[in-house]
């Protein structure tokens, strides 16, 4: 059961265009601590701007901790890491040992969360990596992605989670002792901002293995009128597929906004269930204008989520993820309007007739790729919900 807390102020941020100025402003105003967790950190315009803010914060005495994923940031220049560390920024890597020749679960368990925490009073959670919106191939329009800025009663929970992970990595992985300074969350506990009911929902490999999936399923199973999901990597497991089909059969309108440009070969697995969904009245839209990286949803115009978790086996069964779930009509309607605008401006609707009577090669390829995904999951013991 997802636990929602009242009195949160949550601001929707579309793309790095809105996210990075808000993040940098918060870092520039930090007085005692900054934590930044990200899967990808590119040394481009956005990355340099964020890095400059982090360095300046550290130089004025703020404790700055940055946690990067070992695979997502495997190409980060060592010179830039040294530059950050020389300025006083503590940089840690989550599972730095990677290998293209192994399918060990330990190598595939990645830090996919995107969280920033400033002074335990402001947090940012979402799907946006530290990478410029225009850092895309072929000079295409900027990618679509979302994050939220949070103040209020969720901050102690987010603070505890972030500090626990950093402390664990410092002691267990990097063997560098108590390098992560623990900042009391008492200041955020006194914040009484009247706002929305929200929950901080994690996925990890110990106590929260299915929390994000269960939050989705609870909302889908309770849906009465509409489900809109916009997700970049959509290969849902059996429980998720069945929940959507049950909702469709009871008359709920379902729209899926999925990635229309294939960034990776394994993304073809997304097409494996097109026929099943289309035959049952689920509407599918492919975003083709640019690259869509978002992981958001709105249900019945009241429940919404923004976060880092894709709906695929890697996010749902392997990676550390973080989502914010919201129960608030005003926020949900704002996000819904964003998704609908994206559909109108850059998406192509895949009709049942088009898919079922054409695209024979695509359909065959999708099942081949899906089979490879299932085989890979089975090889490491994770094929139970295919």
pLDDT digits (tens, 9 = 90+) for 97-149: 766 555 566 667 899 999 999 999 999 999 999 999 999 887 789 999 999 99
Smallest CA-to-CA distance from 3 within 333, 324, 336 is with: 324
Indicate which residue of 45, 300, 359, 385 is catalytic. 300
Residue 353, C-beta contacts closer than 8 angstroms, at least 6 positions apart: none
Question: What counts of helices (H) and strands (E) characterise the chain?
Answer: 13, 15
DSSP, residue by residue, 247-291: HHHTT-EEEEEEE-S-SSGGGGGGGGGHHHHHHTT-EEEEE-SS-
Q: Domain-by-domain residue ranges, the chain?
A: 7-191, 199-379
Q: Which pLDDT score, from 0 to 100, does residue 97 have?
A: 74
Q: Is 300 noted as a catalytic residue in this protein?
A: yes
CATH 3.90.1860.10 assigned to 199-379: no
- Cα separation, 171 vs 57, whole angstroms: 25
Q: Which pLDDT score, from 0 to 100, does residue 383 have?
A: 58
Burial class (CB in 10 A: 0-12, 13-18, 19+), 177: exposed
CB 254 within 8 A of CB 105: no
Q: Is 271 noted as a catalytic residue in this protein?
A: no
The list of the chain residues with pLDDT below 70 reads 98-107, 172-194, 264-265, 375-386
Indicate which residue of 55, 69, 114, 271 is catalytic. 114
In the DSSP assignment, the letter for residue 178 is: S
Class level of CATH domain 7-191: alpha beta
SS3 of residue 140 by DSSP: coil
Indicate which residue of 69, 133, 271, 295 is catalytic. 295
Q: Which pLDDT score, from 0 to 100, does residue 323 have?
A: 98
Indicate which residue of 112, 132, 133, 271 is catalytic. 112
Q: Is 119 noted as a catalytic residue in this protein?
A: yes
Tokens of 142: 């900027």
Tokens of 212: 């994000």
Q: E strands along 313-376, which residues?
A: 321-327, 347-350
Q: Is 114 noted as a catalytic residue in this protein?
A: yes
Indicate which residue of 69, 119, 132, 145 is catalytic. 119
- 7 phi/psi in degrees, rounded to 5: 60, 50
Q: Is the dihedral of CA 335, 338, 343, 346 positive or negative?
A: negative
Assess whether the region 7-191 and the region 199-379 belong to the same CATH fold: yes
Q: Which pLDDT score, from 0 to 100, does residue 384 have?
A: 55
């Amino acid at each position: 059961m997802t636990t929602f807390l009242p009195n949160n102020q949550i601001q929707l941020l579309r793309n790095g265009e809105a996210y990075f100025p808000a993040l940098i402003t918060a870092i520039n105003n930090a007085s005692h601590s900054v934590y930044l967790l990200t899967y990808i950190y590119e040394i481009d315009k956005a990355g340099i701007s964020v890095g400059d803010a982090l360095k300046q914060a550290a130089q004025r005495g703020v404790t700055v901790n940055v946690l990067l994923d070992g695979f997502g940031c495997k190409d980060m220049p060592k010179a830039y890491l040294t530059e950050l560390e020389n300025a006083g920024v503590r940089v840690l890597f989550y599972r730095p040992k990677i290998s293209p020749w192994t399918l060990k679960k330990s190598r595939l368990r990645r830090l996919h969360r995107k969280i920033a925490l400033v002074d335990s009073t402001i947090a940012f959670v979402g799907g946006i990596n530290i990478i410029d919106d225009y850092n895309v191939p072929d000079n295409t329009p900027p990618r679509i992605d979302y994050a939220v800025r949070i103040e209020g009663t969720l901050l102690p929970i987010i603070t505890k989670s972030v500090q626990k992970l950093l402390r664990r990595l410092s002691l267990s992985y990097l063997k560098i002792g108590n390098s992560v300074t623990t900042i009391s969350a008492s200041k955020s506990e006194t914040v009484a901002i009247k706002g929305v009911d929200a929950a901080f929902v994690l996925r990890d490999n110990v106590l929260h293995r299915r929390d994000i999936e269960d939050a989705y399923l609870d909302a889908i199973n309770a849906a009465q009128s509409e489900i809109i999901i916009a997700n970049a990597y959509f290969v849902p497991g059996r429980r998720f597929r069945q929940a959507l089909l049950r909702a469709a059969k009871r008359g709920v309108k379902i729209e899926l906004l999925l990635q229309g440009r294939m960034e990776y070969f394994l993304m073809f697995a997304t097409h494996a269930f097109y026929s099943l969904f289309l035959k049952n009245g689920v509407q599918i839209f492919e975003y083709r204008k640019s690259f869509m990286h978002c992981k958001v949803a709105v249900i019945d115009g009241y429940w919404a989520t923004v976060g880092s978790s894709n709906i695929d086996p890697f996010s749902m069964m392997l990676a550390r993820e973080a989502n914010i779930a919201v129960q608030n009509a005003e926020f949900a309607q704002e996000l819904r309007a964003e998704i609908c605008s994206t559909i109108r401006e850059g998406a192509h609707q895949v009709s049942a007739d088009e898919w079922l009577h054409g695209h024979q090669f695509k359909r065959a390829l999708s099942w081949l790729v899906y089979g490879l995904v299932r085989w890979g999951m089975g090889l490491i013991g994770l094929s139970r919900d295919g």
